[in-house]
């Protein structure tokens, strides 16, 4: 696991956007896994700016979802499909044909989960998967004590996650669904390059447990330690509880430029 400490969220977004741009230059039809929430927005803004300036061509990129609420009506503005269309697909000038995600409105949710796992494999696998992290260490919606070998499946959200997400539903927790479809931890680890971005002091403890703690299902993100090419990008606030912060700064400063992110 590589840990990169950046000054702030904007710098983190720019760094990761350049990694995506470099991937698209090598592989124009790369399959990019995207996350929702406020944390990845600087990435999407920086990437859209690169596309608009002609610094990278994203026209053949493919986009896939990390997770989706169960039970929201089609077209609901806070369904993750709607969010990805609004924050990623449209700014990059892509069409819905480039986009794939699980069906949170399916009658048979388990079949929809299995179908999405198959679809990712049939698409050649995810080249780069963006991740955020919850205050309890969850990635995707793999809540604490999720199996580290789990595949795409339905999950029940913890009360804390519903509280955290209420800000997207007019601060009304009653509007936040209780269930989601999420890529499992095993599914996430299939991605060739998972990149986790964490910003703010509120994520500092989860980051420290993820990076420096043991691999344990109580901190689902710690499974990234098992991946041969996982990157964790954190701002100074989110890095504030890392015991090895100075080491991480030194190793990144000495990294050969040709290695990229």
Instruction: Output the tens digit of pLDDT for each of the chain's 261 residues.
Output: 999 999 999 999 999 999 999 999 999 999 999 999 899 999 999 999 999 999 999 999 999 999 999 988 778 999 999 999 999 999 999 999 999 999 998 999 999 999 999 999 999 999 999 999 999 999 999 999 999 999 999 999 888 888 988 998 999 999 999 999 999 999 999 999 999 999 999 999 999 999 999 999 999 999 999 999 999 999 999 999 999 999 999 999 999 988 888
- 257 within a domain of the structure (yes/no): no
Closest CA to 198 of 166, 161, 225, 238: 238
Round to whole Å and give the CA distance between 86 and 202: 26
Residue of 103, 127, 136, 190 with catalytic role: 136
**Is 217 part of a structural domain of the chain?**
yes
Residue 171 inside a domain? The answer is: yes
SS3 21: helix
Instruction: For residue 36, tell me if it sits in a domain.
Output: yes
The residues, any chain, with a CB within 8 Å of residue 194's CB and separated by 6 or more, are 128, 129, 131, 188, 224, 227, 229, 230, 231
Of the candidates 143, 164, 190, 235, the residue annotated as catalytic is 143
Looking from the CA of 254 toward its CB, the CA atoms found within 13 Å total: 6
* Alpha-carbon span 112 to 118, nearest angstrom: 10
User: Structural domain tally of the chain?
Assistant: 1
- pLDDT, residue 253, reads 94
Domain hosting residue 201, numbered range: 1-252
Q: Which among 14, 117, 127, 138 is annotated as catalytic? A: 138
Residue 167, SS3?
helix
N- to C-terminal Cα distance for the chain?
Answer: 11
Three-state SS at 108: coil
Options 14, 18, 67, 235, the catalytic residue: 67
| pLDDT of res. 236 | 97
pLDDT score at 216:
98
CA distances to 21, 43, 195, 240 from 257, rounded to whole Å, are 15, 21, 18, 26
Is 138 annotated as catalytic? yes
Query: What CATH number is attached to the domain comprising 128?
Result: 3.40.50.1360
**Residue 120: per-residue pLDDT:** 97
> Looking at the domain assignment, is residue 164 inside a domain?
yes
Q: Is residue 154 part of a domain?
A: yes
In a domain, 17, yes or no: yes
DSSP β-bridge partners for residue 198: 234
Radius of gyration of the chain (CA): 17
What confidence score (pLDDT) does residue 254 get? Answer: 94
Q: What count of other Cβ atoms lies within 10 Å of the Cβ of residue 116?
A: 25
- The answer as to whether 261 is a domain residue is no
171 is catalytic: no
């Amino acid at each position: 696991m590589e840990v990169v400490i950046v000054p702030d969220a904007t710098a983190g977004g720019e760094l990761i956007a350049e990694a995506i741009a470099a991937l698209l230059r090598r592989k124009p039809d790369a399959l990019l896994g995207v996350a929702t929430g406020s944390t990845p927005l600087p990435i999407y803004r920086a990437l859209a700016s690169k596309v608009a300036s002609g610094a990278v061509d994203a026209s053949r990129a493919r986009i896939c979802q990390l997770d989706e609420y169960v039970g929201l009506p089609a077209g609901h503005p806070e369904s993750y499909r709607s969010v990805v269309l609004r924050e990623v697909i449209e700014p990059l000038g892509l069409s819905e044909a480039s986009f794939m995600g699980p069906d949170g409105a399916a009658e048979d949710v388990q079949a929809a989960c299995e179908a999405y796992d198959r679809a990712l494999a049939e698409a050649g696998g995810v080249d780069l998967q963006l991740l955020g992290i919850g205050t309890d260490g969850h990635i995707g919606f793999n809540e604490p004590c999720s199996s580290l070998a789990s595949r795409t499946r339905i999950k029940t959200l913890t009360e804390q996650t519903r509280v955290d997400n209420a800000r997207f539903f007019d601060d009304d927790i009653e509007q936040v669904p209780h269930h989601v479809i999420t890529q499992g931890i095993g599914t996430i680890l299939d991605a060739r390059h998972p990149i986790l971005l964490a910003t703010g002091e509120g994520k500092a403890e989860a980051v420290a447990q993820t990076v420096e703690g043991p691999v344990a299902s109580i901190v689902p993100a710690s499974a990234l330690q098992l991946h041969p090419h996982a990157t964790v990008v954190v701002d100074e606030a989110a890095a504030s509880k890392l015991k090895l912060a100075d080491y991480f700064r030194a190793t990144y400063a000495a990294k050969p430029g040709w290695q990229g992110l």
